[in-house]
Amino acid sequence: MARPTSATIHIDALRHNLGQVRRLAPASRVMAVVKADGYGHGLERVARALSGADAFGVAALSDAERLRAAGLSQPIVLLSGFDAAEDLPKLRELNVDTVVHHAAQLEMLEQADGDPIRCWLKVDTGMHRLGFAPEAVAQAHARLSKAKSVAGDIRLMTHFASSDELDELAPGNRQTRAQMRAFEQVAADLPGARSLANAAAVLGWPAAHADWVRPGGALYGISVVDGKTGADFGLKPAMTLSTRLIAVNRIRKGERIGYSATWECPEDMPVGVAAIGYGDGYPRHAPAGTPVLVNGRRAPIVGRVSMDLMTVDLRAQPEAKPGDPVVLWGEALPVEEIAAAAGTIGYELTCSITRRVRFVED
């Protein structure tokens, strides 16, 4: 029998979420960020569902190859930029825009021949990951403008470190305002379309929407805003992770469950065994008490999550039996809640689903 573990991808939810992004940022074009295999939902599947986007953002040239092979003709932006001069012919062949964030890339573009490539000049306004320091941007822009291998309409972008902190008193809120000011100053004298907003900024920072928004998480229905789920912003989760119970055992009071015997039964009780574990991408560090849905009703995990299995407290539904459905996250159990219990964000959970999980679409 096939393992009953599956990730159902809701195509309508993806489309709905793109619509919601457009409603929230009506004056902006939308670059749908589909890196990391569409945040674990499946690159081609997601891109087809989001074919109404104005562009796709990817992290690797191989993603762009896959999108073109799947027949998608929208503009594609390589968000981490190219690494080597040898990548440039590939960018042209695939008609991919590149982010330019580093002096070495400027040199490679200046020395290159061939059809012009569209560039998104990245400004480091305070995240200190990728981008030119504000004081270096004018010169980088001037060099790009002169390079024959660079298309005329150079675009300007930056990335926020803490736009998920919507509370005005949160330290990250001040940082986002500072990043916006720094970007405005740098961009004031330069032509070209502007892009600042990731998903959290689409949801919470309308003043940062500018010409292009670049949401990832929101398209999958996932919020990274503390204490809020995608549903709080009118988004729908695009993934339901589910499995079934494969055993229900009655365990005696005082017995301990699972590896390292971390959880002790406080009374004689039914314990369900669900066919999912960290080998499927469910986080091993989700503690006892993290909820799952058995037959649509909440039941807490007990003991350690193991590679193929997890154990759940069925005291609230002693009638549950092998074969009954178990949902790990989805519309009725937000992935954000599981992520909070496991000390991470929803993106990491959906990105971590492994290949042995069956993907289905509805």
Ligand X SMILES: Cc1ncc(COP(=O)(O)O)c(C=O)c1O
From the list 165, 194, 229, 239, the residue with the least C-alpha distance to 31 is 194
**Number of residues that this document lists for the chain:** 362
Nearest CB to ligand X, comparing residues 214 and 304: 214
Q: How far is it, in rounded angstroms, from Cα 301 to Cα 69?
A: 42
Q: How far is it, in rounded angstroms, from Cα 92 to Cα 59?
A: 17
Maximum CA pair distance of the chain? 77
CA–CA distance from 95 to each of 55, 60, 230 (Å)?
A: 12, 14, 33
Q: 232: helix, coil or strand?
A: helix
Place of tokens 């055993």: 247
Options 39, 90, 148, 259, the catalytic residue: 259
Q: How far is it, in rounded angstroms, from Cα 347 to Cα 162?
A: 15
Nearest CB to ligand X, comparing residues 154 and 199: 199
259 catalytically annotated: yes
H helical segments located in the chain: 11-24, 35-39, 43-49, 61-69, 87-94, 103-111, 134-146, 171-187, 199-204, 335-342, 346-351
Nearest CB to ligand X, comparing residues 9 and 224: 224
Nearest CB to ligand X, comparing residues 32 and 305: 32
The nearest distance, CB 265 to ligand X, in angstroms, is 41
146 catalytically annotated: no
The nearest distance, CB 164 to ligand X, in angstroms, is 8
The 3 state secondary structure assigned to 249-272 is EEECCCCEECHHHCEECCCCEEEE
The contact set with ligand X (CB under 6 A) reads: 33, 57, 79, 159, 198-200, 214-217, 224
Q: What would the two tokens of residue 182 be?
A: 């720094």
For the chain, the distance separating the N- and C-terminal CA atoms, rounded to the nearest angstrom, is 22
Cβ–Cβ < 8 Å for 215, 197:
yes
Q: Nearest to ligand X by Cβ — which residue?
A: 216
The nearest distance, CB 316 to ligand X, in angstroms, is 35
Nearest CB to ligand X, comparing residues 64 and 305: 64
What is the Cα Rg of the chain in Å?
23
Residue 335's CB is within 10 A of a number of other CB atoms, namely 27
Kindly list the catalytic residues: 35, 259
